[in-house]
Structure formats: C-alpha cells, structure tokens
C-alpha cells in the first residue's frame, strides 16, 4: 500500500486532535522510509520484476528489519518516543500510543495488499500477505475507500480556516491522494533501486509537507 496509509494518519488525528498531523503523516510511512534506505545499503533486498502483480513490479524478498511484525513493534516504540522528545507537549504515553500506532498501522495495511512477503517474526519464517495487489481494481477500490473515510472524518472533526487553502485545501489534498492512488499502478516501472528509493522518499516528504500545510489552515472544534 502506498497512498492508503495516509488514511491511518487522519484516523489517529481524530482519536486525539492534540497530536500534530506531520508526525502522523511521516509515521504511517516510517517502515517504508527505513526500507527505502536499507535496500540502498543492501541490508534488505528487493527485485524489480515487471508484471509481478497488477499493481507493481516489486518482489520484496528480504525485509525483516523494516517490515516484520517484531520490527514494526520495535520501530513504533522508538518513533513514538522520538516524537515525544521532539514535541514536548505530547508526553511519552501519547507519543508512543498515537505516533507509535501510526507506525504500526503500516504493517497491518501492508499485510492486506502485499503478496506473502511480510515476516511475522523474522526471515526465514512465516510471511503474511493477502495479495490485494494482484488486482488493480481491488487495490484502487480499497485504498480509495480508506481515503474517503478519512476525508469524511477529517472534515467532520475540523472546520475550514481563513483563505482558499482553509476552505478548499482539505478536499483538494484528498482529491490529489485519490488521483495518486488511481495513477500509481499505471506509472512507469523504476529502472533502478536508487530511482525507486529517491522517488519514494521524496514523495513521502512532499505529501507530509502538503498535509501539514493544509492542516495548518483547519480549525479544530474541540
């Protein structure tokens, strides 16, 4: 899953509006941030095989450090504690519970779409994956449904602030995410791991910054 992960950021924001959106938008992709760096250094492995699933060309052959359940739990605590340190008003418990949950949500949503390549404990060992990526239509439907639910929750929990960004920003942002969801399976296959990594990392940062900008023009009701 790529864009659908962001729906978890907004679900968590709804749970506790005092947590800023930026660490939640970074948190839901934190496991992929790690993966994109680890493959560059050979710590983890993937191969690009065009046509492997209908949605992408990724044979994710070895990723226990970023994408096992044990690693997900570990990184959730590390990320949550780091957020609590950097954002003083959060507090350790809220940092670990809410920002940590953002990281952990990545594992759950990845299991839905990946082919069985998500290690439960470690690699070698049991791997999970329900394989929604095998169908373009199913992937787009599931991710769009999650985003629609997130958008609905978001416009109910916050009000438009001043200016055009306050008024239309949230809807344009979610519209952009849905377009990205539909376009992703049709994008050209990256030729090298460096190309894939740099595109992905830049994409995660740009989306998080856009989300923060849009959210800064929203007013929270309670």
Which residues would be at the binding site for Zn ion (CB under 5 A)? 32, 110
Least distance CB 107 / Zn ion (angstroms): 8
By C-beta, is 112 or 150 nearer to Zn ion? 112
By C-beta, is 44 or 215 nearer to Zn ion? 44
- Cβ pair 222, 15 in contact under 8 A: no
CA torsion, ordered 98, 207, 139, 147, to nearest 10 deg: 60
Least distance CB 135 / Zn ion (angstroms): 18
How many whole angstroms separate alpha carbon 135 and alpha carbon 155?
30
By C-beta, is 32 or 143 nearer to Zn ion? 32
By C-beta, is 44 or 110 nearer to Zn ion? 110
Residue 132 corresponds to which tokens in the numbers above?
Answer: 């929604």
Specify the 3-state DSSP secondary structure of 206.
helix
Least distance CB 190 / Zn ion (angstroms): 16
Least distance CB 37 / Zn ion (angstroms): 13
By C-beta, is 32 or 215 nearer to Zn ion? 32
Q: What are the Cα distances from residue 93, in Å, to 4, 10, 18, 99, 141?
A: 26, 19, 13, 10, 35
Residue 122 corresponds to which tokens in the numbers above?
Answer: 């470690």
CB atoms within 10 A of CB 93: 10
Question: Angle CA(133)–CA(138)–CA(68) in degrees, nearest 5?
Answer: 35
Least distance CB 67 / Zn ion (angstroms): 6
């Amino acid at each position: 899953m790529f864009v659908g992960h962001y729906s978890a950021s907004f679900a968590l924001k709804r749970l506790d509006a005092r947590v800023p959106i930026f660490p939640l938008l970074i948190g839901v992709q934190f496991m992929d941030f790690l993966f994109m760096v680890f493959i560059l250094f050979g710590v983890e492995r993937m191969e690009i095989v065009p046509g492997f699933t209908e949605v992408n060309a990724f044979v994710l052959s070895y990723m226990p450090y970023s994408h096992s359940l044990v690693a997900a739990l570990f990184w959730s605590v590390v990320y949550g504690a780091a957020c609590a340190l950097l954002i003083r008003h959060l507090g350790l418990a809220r940092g670990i519970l809410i920002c940590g949950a953002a990281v952990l949500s990545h594992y759950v949503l990845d299991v839905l779409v990946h082919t069985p390549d998500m290690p439960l404990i470690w690699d070698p060992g049991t791997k999970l994956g329900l394989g929604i990526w095998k169908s373009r239509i199913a992937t787009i439907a599931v991710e769009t449904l999650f985003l629609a639910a997130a958008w609905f929750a978001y416009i109910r929990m916050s009000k438009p602030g001043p200016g055009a960004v306050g008024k239309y920003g949230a809807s344009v942002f979610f519209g952009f995410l849905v377009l990205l969801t539909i376009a992703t399976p049709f994008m050209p296959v990256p030729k090298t791991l460096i190309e894939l990594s740099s595109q992905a990392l830049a994409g995660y940062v740009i989306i998080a910054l856009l989300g923060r900008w849009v959210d800064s023009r929203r007013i929270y009701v309670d």
